[in-house]
Chain A
Amino acid sequence: MVNSKAKYVEVELEKYSLKPFDRFKRVMKRTFKGELFVGLGIVFREMVRFNIHTTQYPGEKLPISPRYRAIHELLRLLESGNERCIGCGLCEKICISKCIRMDTHLGEDGRKHISEYTINFGRCIFCGYCAEVCPELAIVHGPRYENSSEQRAHFGLKEDMLTPIDVFKKGAQKEYPGFGAPSPDADKRIKKTPLAY
């Protein structure tokens, strides 16, 4: 908003000399004031005391909140290890930056299978819609946030995101409590369908 009462005020600055010798004196004064050594002294003191507060990235990483929406993971069913994704295409449809694309086919078992599943991470805005809409808890946001790349388009393929089967067999697929996960009170909210006669 423009303040109608606003007006320009001239600031009075201390006049300083621009003569070469005066300039030289000013530089020397500022350089050898000693404050520099105070700072260096503190750094040196903390170094020899081994009391550093900086996180040593990339050697050391901060834990990240489950609410943080990082690179997607495609999970497997806990009992069978089958892929959870049923190929419903809701994530593809809802994706606001149109960066999810999938290809499905009829499997030999008569079920729908996904042949390919890609997310263009260069376009993904990590909004979490896909994880939220997924009826199977198949696509979730994992904790991996490092996704720099040399190109703008940067595709994550199905095999990059799906829990590898050997990792799964070791029981290392973690149900991540972040975006797309069931709510903590999910058990209470579940209803029986009338099919359970």
Chain B
Amino acid sequence: MHEMLLHSDGCDMISFYVDGNLVEAKKGQTILEAATKSGHYIPTMCYLPKLEPISSCRICVVEIEGSDELILSCQTPVVEGIKVTTDSKKLFEYRQNILKLYDVNHPLECGVCDKSGECLLQNRTLEFELDRQEFSAKEEKREIKRWGLIGYDPSLCILCERCVHTCNEIIGDDAIEIATGGYSSHIKPKGSDELDCSFCGECIAVCPVGALVSTGFKYISNSWELRKIPATCSHCPVGCAIYYEVKHDGTLDASEKRIYRVSNDFEYNSLCIAGRFGFDFENSETTKDSSELSRAVEAFLKADTIRFNSFITNEEALILQKLKEKRGYKLINSEAYIFREFLSELSMASGVSFYTGSVEDVKRSDFILSIGSRIYDDAPVVGYAINSAKKLKGAYFGYLHTIEDNRIHPSKFVKYEVGAEEGAIAALAYVILKDKIVDNRLQEYLDDLDIGYICSESNISEEELESLAKILKSKSSPILIAGSDLYSHKRAENIARLLGFIEKHSNFKVLLIPTSTNTLGVSLICDLDKEAGDYVIGYNDIGDYRLSSLGDGDLDMPALNQQEGTFTTIDKRVVPTNAALPYGGYELNDIAKELEIARENTIDYTLSLPRKSGYRSVGFDELDDEISKDGVDRRGYNLVIEEKDTHFNLQKIADIDEYNGVVVYVSNPTSQFSYMTNRARLLKDQSSDLEGSEQFSIAAKIEDGDYVSISFGQYEVKKVFKINPKLKGVVGILPIFDNMLSTYLLPSQYKYQKVEIKKASLEKKVEEN
């Protein structure tokens, strides 16, 4: 019978028996994984598929014929032919005893506990028929802790260690640990009393009981009263799968008009702070007033330009494109424009229509380089993917940037000068490609590169490059992550081509991080223009007539949590999102209808997304919108990737512009991406201060706590300055999420700016507030 099961990849498969049924498993798979996959049930408490087995709860024990000992199925790999029993009287009693111990002095407070209804301890206690408790222990004083967005109640904690392992293996913050002390053991922030971490809230999500809770959600709703709406996070290009959990607000109105929390399929995926806590950015209290619509139509008839950003759906982008085709508008989205240019240069060099890497590839990779991105802030979940590759697969991670980032713990940090991205990429291309080239012109180009000169110009040490090259030799699945510093670089063209050749001629995959949520989609769907005309419609952007989902424009628009539609994510995947909240006003499609572009609903456009850019003719309602039970992301579809002709057109590496004086790096903190996250109630305490090192404060002649005005070009922003002891070097970090600059100006400008910083008077600040 065994022979029958040998598959094409047969040599990797082994088979064994679970409760008398023949089950096959991949070599190395654990008993638990293989048994669960084949539909058998083994109870667990501490096990989480996305982590290495923790093995703290022992509830997953099974019997194996011929062995007296009980075996932990979550950590034991399958051995050919073993006979596993998952349930027996002995196992039941064993598990029951474990639960009795868990329940010792566990407060009987399910009645108020936020976890009630989805609590693993509650479920297992019921499952193993514990209706009484014979044991007790002397009560300890246990204080409920509040660490910012996270609350911890040690008396509910069962010490399963899921939170600690998640924070370390997935997130990388490694911010919490177990304080051991027998019966008084508990979780504590590592090395301090206060929790100082990125507050992703993953520990809350994985906690099987009510020990770790969101302080913003505490006691405001029972979980079973909430309705889960599958959606896509709209803050960054990763497009994580989330559920908006909604319910009525107050007791007298039945409409589901409030999002209470965001949750996710935490067994397999993780969210960042913005995705988890930045959900209430809706445009509420909107109504339809036909005179307002006619004013909007008038403005559209008068206008020659539409300016917008990439926080829109693919369908809206297509409506804008149709408006352009019909009425000849200029479409201005400078950030998607430069991304499109970059992508098309890259694909002309690589010979495929897109970059080939994905976030999954990062997780599977054994050698990761990242350049031109402060990755934990630009696409946090890519940062988590790097961290898990490092921790779980032993991957090597080289972080190339101008500013050291102490959250990342790279295997190696390679610092380059501000403005030296082109040189740094050329040096990487040299290291990666020098021995494997088949193309003579490229060989010649590389031979001509004066690596010594480039390195000294860019301030990269040659030894560091050598050591990268050496490590790379033993690696088989390398990936290169490139970020938005590069798209806005004045040498972006050549940088893109170099990346394209790396992709074509080595085993490196390249992963670009699009600048914002739907930058990729907009760049594929809209035929964008460079110069604006005279009368501008601004859609969530500046303009003579403004459509706004913030409620501050001439006509209200729905926010992204009130819309159906699709996004095109970093993985070149088209994923659907659903409306979590009702919206009472007009949509872009209503205006389009007035202008005689007639489709009933916005989602009727999903079917017609441009096939020439890789979209498929799939209607919105045919798109799958969930993660499957075994963790496979089944949302939407992947764009079709095509072969392309390649061109050889590399240019000489240009000299670097001098960045002397006071320089800031325009970048938002992890928790904040845009005006949307800036509206979120739970994120409003996140700092938007200008930050810099001691050194920066000396260079800029400002002190901690100063209120300063920062000007560059024709722009001026006012901020409080804070010295951040964790920052090094002379470049300050300027967040702009709280300012309209973040949407219309800066995303397309080089992220480093020479600035003039002056102290501003405080009275002014009071006034502005």
Determine the chain B residues whose CB is within 8 A of the CB of A118 once the complex forms. Answer: 251-252
10 contacts between A and B (CB under 8 A): A89-B222, A89-B224, A90-B111, A93-B224, A101-B251, A103-B220, A103-B250, A104-B220, A113-B219, A194-B135
Q: Is A3 an interface residue (CB 8 A)?
A: no
Which of A87, A102, A116, A193 makes the CB contact (< 8 A) with B112?
A87
Q: Are A106 and B224 in contact (CB under 8 A)?
A: no
Interfacial residues of chain B within 331-381, with CB under 8 A of chain A in the complex: none
Q: What CA separation (Å) do A135 and B111 show in the bound complex?
A: 8
Interfacial residues of chain A within 80-114, with CB under 8 A of chain B in the complex: 86-90, 92-93, 101-106, 110-113
Q: Is B144 an interface residue (CB 8 A)?
A: yes
Q: What CA separation (Å) do A19 and B401 show in the bound complex?
A: 117
Q: Are A86 and B111 in contact (CB under 8 A)?
A: yes
Q: What CA separation (Å) do A196 and B133 show in the bound complex?
A: 12
Q: Is B652 an interface residue (CB 8 A)?
A: no
Q: Are A116 and B250 in contact (CB under 8 A)?
A: yes
Q: What CA separation (Å) do A27 and B136 show in the bound complex?
A: 91
Q: Are A103 and B251 in contact (CB under 8 A)?
A: yes
Sort A-B residue pairs by CB-CB distance and give the 5 closest, nearest first.
Answer: A88-B111, A194-B136, A112-B219, A112-B112, A101-B251
Q: What CA separation (Å) do A195 and B136 show in the bound complex?
A: 6
Determine the chain B residues whose CB is within 8 A of the CB of A111 once the complex forms. Answer: 112
Determine the chain B residues whose CB is within 8 A of the CB of A68 once the complex forms. Answer: none
Q: Is A176 an interface residue (CB 8 A)?
A: no
Q: What CA separation (Å) do A118 and B251 show in the bound complex?
A: 7
Interfacial residues of chain B within 200-229, with CB under 8 A of chain A in the complex: 218-222, 224-225
Interfacial residues of chain B within 116-142, with CB under 8 A of chain A in the complex: 116, 133-136, 138-139
Determine the chain B residues whose CB is within 8 A of the CB of A93 once the complex forms. Answer: 222, 224-225
Determine the chain A residues whose CB is within 8 A of the CB of B134 once the complex forms. Answer: 194
Q: Is B105 an interface residue (CB 8 A)?
A: yes
A155 to chain B, nearest CB (A): 7
Q: What CA separation (Å) do A90 and B112 show in the bound complex?
A: 10
Q: Are A116 and B251 in contact (CB under 8 A)?
A: yes
Q: Are B248 and A105 in contact (CB under 8 A)?
A: no
Q: Are A195 and B105 in contact (CB under 8 A)?
A: yes
Q: What CA separation (Å) do A177 and B248 show in the bound complex?
A: 35
Q: Are A105 and B219 in contact (CB under 8 A)?
A: yes
Q: What CA separation (Å) do A196 and B136 show in the bound complex?
A: 8
Q: Are A88 and B112 in contact (CB under 8 A)?
A: yes
Residue of A at shortest CB range from B134? A194
Determine the chain B residues whose CB is within 8 A of the CB of A103 once the complex forms. Answer: 220, 250-251
Q: What CA separation (Å) do A141 and B218 show in the bound complex?
A: 30
Determine the chain B residues whose CB is within 8 A of the CB of A86 once the complex forms. Answer: 111-112
Q: What CA separation (Å) do A59 and B116 show in the bound complex?
A: 49
A99 to chain B, nearest CB (A): 11
Q: Is A16 an interface residue (CB 8 A)?
A: no
B105 to chain A, nearest CB (A): 7
Residue of A at shortest CB range from B249? A103
Q: Are A193 and B133 in contact (CB under 8 A)?
A: yes
A105 to chain B, nearest CB (A): 6
Known interface pairs A110-B144, A194-B136, A195-B105; A155-B219 also in contact (CB < 8 Å): no
Q: What CA separation (Å) do A87 and B111 show in the bound complex?
A: 7
Residue of B at shortest CB range from A118? B251
Residue of B at shortest CB range from A101? B251
Q: Are B135 and A106 in contact (CB under 8 A)?
A: no
Residue of A at shortest CB range from B153? A110
Number of interface residues of A (CB under 8 A): 28
Task: With A104-B220, A197-B138 given, name 15 new contacts (CB 8 A).
Answer: A86-B112, A87-B219, A88-B112, A93-B224, A104-B221, A105-B219, A117-B251, A135-B111, A193-B133, A193-B136, A194-B133, A194-B135, A195-B139, A196-B136, A197-B136
Binding site for A on B (CB under 8 A): 105, 108, 110-112, 116, 133-136, 138-139, 144, 218-222, 224-225, 248, 250-252
Q: Are A102 and B219 in contact (CB under 8 A)?
A: no
Known interface pairs A193-B133, A195-B105; A102-B111 also in contact (CB < 8 Å): no
A89 to chain B, nearest CB (A): 4
Determine the chain A residues whose CB is within 8 A of the CB of B224 once the complex forms. Answer: 89, 93
A96 to chain B, nearest CB (A): 16
Q: Of residues B108, B221, B251, B252, which shows the largest number of chain A Cβ atoms within 10 Å of its Cβ?
A: B251
B252 to chain A, nearest CB (A): 7
B133 to chain A, nearest CB (A): 5
Q: What CA separation (Å) do A164 and B105 show in the bound complex?
A: 36
Determine the chain A residues whose CB is within 8 A of the CB of B111 once the complex forms. Answer: 86, 88, 90, 135-136
Determine the chain B residues whose CB is within 8 A of the CB of A155 once the complex forms. Answer: 252
Determine the chain A residues whose CB is within 8 A of the CB of B225 once the complex forms. Answer: 89, 92-93
Determine the chain A residues whose CB is within 8 A of the CB of B250 once the complex forms. Answer: 103, 116
Q: What CA separation (Å) do A171 and B553 show in the bound complex?
A: 58
B111 to chain A, nearest CB (A): 4
Which of A104, A193, A194 makes the CB contact (< 8 A) with B219?
A104
B393 to chain A, nearest CB (A): 41
Residue of B at shortest CB range from A157? B251
Determine the chain A residues whose CB is within 8 A of the CB of B136 once the complex forms. Answer: 193-197
Q: Are B138 and A106 in contact (CB under 8 A)?
A: no
Determine the chain B residues whose CB is within 8 A of the CB of A101 once the complex forms. Answer: 248, 251-252
Q: What CA separation (Å) do A102 and B247 show in the bound complex?
A: 12
Determine the chain A residues whose CB is within 8 A of the CB of B251 once the complex forms. Answer: 101-103, 116-118
Q: What CA separation (Å) do A93 and B528 show in the bound complex?
A: 53
Q: What CA separation (Å) do A104 and B112 show in the bound complex?
A: 10
Q: Of residues B139, B218, B252, which shows the largest number of chain A Cβ atoms within 10 Å of its Cβ?
A: B252
Determine the chain A residues whose CB is within 8 A of the CB of B112 once the complex forms. Answer: 86-88, 111-112
B137 to chain A, nearest CB (A): 8
Q: What CA separation (Å) do A196 and B134 show in the bound complex?
A: 11
B273 to chain A, nearest CB (A): 21
Q: What CA separation (Å) do A105 and B218 show in the bound complex?
A: 7
Determine the chain B residues whose CB is within 8 A of the CB of A136 once the complex forms. Answer: 111
Residue of B at shortest CB range from A93? B224
B259 to chain A, nearest CB (A): 15
Interfacial residues of chain A within 59-95, with CB under 8 A of chain B in the complex: 86-90, 92-93
Determine the chain A residues whose CB is within 8 A of the CB of B108 once the complex forms. Answer: 193
Determine the chain B residues whose CB is within 8 A of the CB of A106 once the complex forms. Answer: 218-220
Determine the chain B residues whose CB is within 8 A of the CB of A88 once the complex forms. Answer: 110-112, 116, 222
Determine the chain A residues whose CB is within 8 A of the CB of B218 once the complex forms. Answer: 106
Residue of B at shortest CB range from A155? B252
Determine the chain A residues whose CB is within 8 A of the CB of B105 once the complex forms. Answer: 195
Determine the chain B residues whose CB is within 8 A of the CB of A135 once the complex forms. Answer: 111
Determine the chain A residues whose CB is within 8 A of the CB of B135 once the complex forms. Answer: 194
Residue of A at shortest CB range from B103? A194
B549 to chain A, nearest CB (A): 28
Q: What CA separation (Å) do A136 and B132 show in the bound complex?
A: 20
Q: What CA separation (Å) do A194 and B132 show in the bound complex?
A: 9
Q: What CA separation (Å) do A119 and B174 show in the bound complex?
A: 48
Interfacial residues of chain A within 140-197, with CB under 8 A of chain B in the complex: 155, 193-197
Q: What CA separation (Å) do A141 and B679 show in the bound complex?
A: 44
B249 to chain A, nearest CB (A): 8
Q: What CA separation (Å) do A135 and B108 show in the bound complex?
A: 12
A139 to chain B, nearest CB (A): 13
